[in-house]
Chain A
Amino acid sequence: MLDLPHAKATETSEAVFDLRKEAEAAGITETLRELDQELIGLKPVKSRVRQIASLLLIERIRQRAGLVAAPPTMHMSFTGNPGTGKTTVALRMAKILHGLGFVRRGQVISVTRDDLVGQYIGHTAPKTKEILKKAMGGVLFIDEAYYLHRPDNERDYGQEAIEILLQVMENQREDLVVILAGYGERMTNFFASNPGFRSRIAHHIEFPDYSEAELLFIADLMLQERGYRFSAAAREAFEKYIALRRMQSFFSNARSIRNAVDRIRLRQADRLVSDLDRMLEISDLETIDSADVLASRVFSGGADARSSNP
């Protein structure tokens, strides 16, 4: 803020802005590239994030050019099924907003109902305020926000937390960005019973489920990060695994894949250790075999068949 008058004086005289330089100075080209590379799929999310970043960038340049610049509302809601990357994108969002100077510090405070709502009368307001104060200058990420509202109990303290949140979201828009996250259906109900929330949130972003190809790609990336790779047969087996797992209960997208990868590593280690009388090569250590994948209980009917097939 301090260097604003100076910037105005020099920039308005030329009245031409190098967009690429501006974007790079704000660090958004870098952050957006990371977002593109490290997050698979999520097309609608990425395009929305890019739009927001562009708007903020243009807004910043407009301000320096002396045009009218009203700071836009940046509160967001992320809805989508489990494991679709809501938290990950929220962290990236904070980086982008910070790079563009929309939030001053860029810290992310991630909370759930427990952190906001107190246990007895008079406990909620200070608790919520404490969190809000910590989040000032950054992003407040409220996971599973619909738990704040308990329709079955009208004396629930959640309502008090909601009221304080709404007040701060309205009055201190420049100090704080609130991101609500939760599963689609329940968030819709939550907004239906708290219309104040819905109208104060400018960006409702829907996180789609991953396709099978995307999930396979995610698994490849995860293995790569951990220093493993699929053998050709194992990759094929994992494709089948994904197709089966998606149909079974408690499927949560990338999170299920991460768990599967971790269990596959367990089985691979077990397989290697079970045969002590052999020389290991590096390729043995990093290769996942089809047997490691096929041993999963997913192939024998999933969690329901757990007792019969450990």
Chain B
Amino acid sequence: MKLTQGCFSYLPDLTDDQITKQVQYCLANGWAVNIEFTDDPHPRNTYWEMWGLPMFDLADAAGVMMELAECRRVYGDRYIRISGFDSSHGWESVRISFLVNRPAKEAEFELVRQEVAGRAIRYTTVRKPAEHASV
């Protein structure tokens, strides 16, 4: 199952050229570009680990791509995303976030139904255990 999270996730995976252009767009807007990675891509897990510091004073995307290459080398078996944080007044939030790396075997989720008081139904998204316990 292809994980869909953030921008462009219903499109085919971005190529490095396309990622470079997106990053350049972020830098041109003055956003801080972050590289984050995780092995727990649950939609409720917003706290991914950061690869290095936010990059806000770069002129060219090549610097980010250099870090991304390094991050992929170390954490190629995890999800990696790039986000652009806009610190300008009134925004002060993440403006763009997209996946740039997926593990060979993607995480799978399923919906678990739970009956609670008054026959009400609650649903929660739960990660399926990996079939081969290699992760």
Same complex origin of A and B = yes
Which residue in A136, A168, A172 is a CB contact (below 8 Å) of B59? Answer: A136
| A176 contact set on B, CB distance < 8 A | 62
Shortest distance from the beta carbon of A137 to any chain B beta carbon, whole Å: 3
A172→B20 CA distance, assembly (Å) = 14
B64 within 8 A of A: yes
B131 within 8 A of A: no
Judge whether B58 and A172 touch: CB under 8 Å: no
Shortest distance from the beta carbon of A289 to any chain B beta carbon, whole Å: 48
Judge whether B60 and A105 touch: CB under 8 Å: yes
Q: Chain B interface: which size bin? A: 10 to 19
Shortest distance from the beta carbon of A201 to any chain B beta carbon, whole Å: 20
Judge whether B62 and A134 touch: CB under 8 Å: no
Which label, helix, strand, loop or mixed, suits the secondary structure of the A interface? loop
B115 within 8 A of A: no
A134→B52 CA distance, assembly (Å) = 14
| B61 contact set on A, CB distance < 8 A | 136-137
Residue on B nearest A138 in the bound complex, by CB: B59
Judge whether A172 and B66 touch: CB under 8 Å: yes
| B58 contact set on A, CB distance < 8 A | 133-134, 136
Of residues 51 through 96 on chain B, the ones whose CB sits less than 8 Å from some CB of chain A are 52, 55, 57-64, 66-67
A145 within 8 A of B: no
A168→B69 CA distance, assembly (Å) = 13
Of residues 122 through 136 on chain A, the ones whose CB sits less than 8 Å from some CB of chain B are 126, 129, 132-134, 136
Residue on B nearest A131 in the bound complex, by CB: B63
Judge whether A136 and B62 touch: CB under 8 Å: yes
As a 0/1 sequence over residues 144 to 185 of chain A, the CB contacts with chain B under 8 angstroms (1 = contact) are: 000000000000000000000000100010011000000000
| B60 contact set on A, CB distance < 8 A | 104-105, 136-138, 175
Shortest distance from the beta carbon of B33 to any chain A beta carbon, whole Å: 10
A290 within 8 A of B: no
Residue on A nearest B64 in the bound complex, by CB: A133
A296 within 8 A of B: no
A29 within 8 A of B: no
A132→B59 CA distance, assembly (Å) = 11
Residue on B nearest A2 in the bound complex, by CB: B21
Shortest distance from the beta carbon of B66 to any chain A beta carbon, whole Å: 6
A194 within 8 A of B: no
Q: List 13 A-B contacts (CB under 8 A).
A: A129-B66, A129-B67, A132-B66, A133-B55, A133-B63, A133-B64, A133-B66, A134-B58, A136-B58, A137-B59, A137-B61, A172-B62, A175-B60
Q: List the 8 shortest-distance A-B pairs measured between CB atoms, nearest first.
A: A137-B60, A133-B63, A136-B62, A175-B62, A136-B63, A105-B59, A136-B60, A107-B59
Known A-B contacts: A126-B52, A133-B63, A136-B58. Give 13 more (CB < 8 A). A104-B60, A105-B60, A129-B66, A132-B66, A133-B64, A133-B66, A134-B59, A136-B59, A136-B61, A137-B59, A137-B63, A168-B66, A175-B62
